[in-house]
Amino acid sequence: MPIEEAVLNISYKSAQIELVKRTDVIWAGCVDYAGNNTGESDIGATLKRFQSLVEIAPIKAKINPDWSASLSINYNCGDKPCGIMFANESYTADQDARYETFVQPGGLWLRVKGDRNNAKALLNKEKADLHEFFSVLRDAAAANGYTQNPDVHVEVEYHCHAEYNTPPHTCYAYIPVIKNG
């Protein structure tokens, strides 16, 4: 069962951005939240915890086994602590007790490939970290009749970890959107 289907290709600043429809998705992995509504969690420690578990406690029923993600949670709202989750998509929330699960709500999402061409076209940089594309996706949404979904406080950096040894690996930045009006 596919969890994502293409809806529309958008040209923005000579880059291709895709509007996709996603179902609800269960992410299984490690999450950590900041201790207050203004700081950040210990991202390095959360990643290290996730990496230490993936071999000894494999995530069950992965949807895309060669892909993993970093989810930025609550970064666009000031009334909740920001969180980072390193995870894999799964068909089940029944996971090893050392993992947390998070349900990413379905709906419309904008995504852009995080490659050098798009870094140049969209950010005027030779290369960029995926999170840098989030603001560009918000601008592209606004220019095309969409707004970042104010009810879904998650942005996704999605990586094909199977390609890590043959850079550059394929990766995408996603934000949730809704149609204006």
- Nearest-angstrom CA–CA distance, 65 and 41: 27
pLDDT tens figures, 152-163: 999 999 998 777
**Size of the chain, expressed as the number of residues it contains:** 181
pLDDT tens figures, 19-57: 999 999 999 999 999 999 888 999 999 999 999 999 999
- Nearest-angstrom CA–CA distance, 52 and 87: 13
- Nearest-angstrom CA–CA distance, 8 and 116: 22
Range of the domain at 77: 4-179
When divided into structural domains, the chain yields a total of: 1
- Nearest-angstrom CA–CA distance, 18 and 15: 10
Report the CATH number at residue 109. 3.20.80.10
Output the CA angle 133-142-27, nearest 5 degrees: 50
Instruction: Provide the whole-model pTM.
Output: 0.93
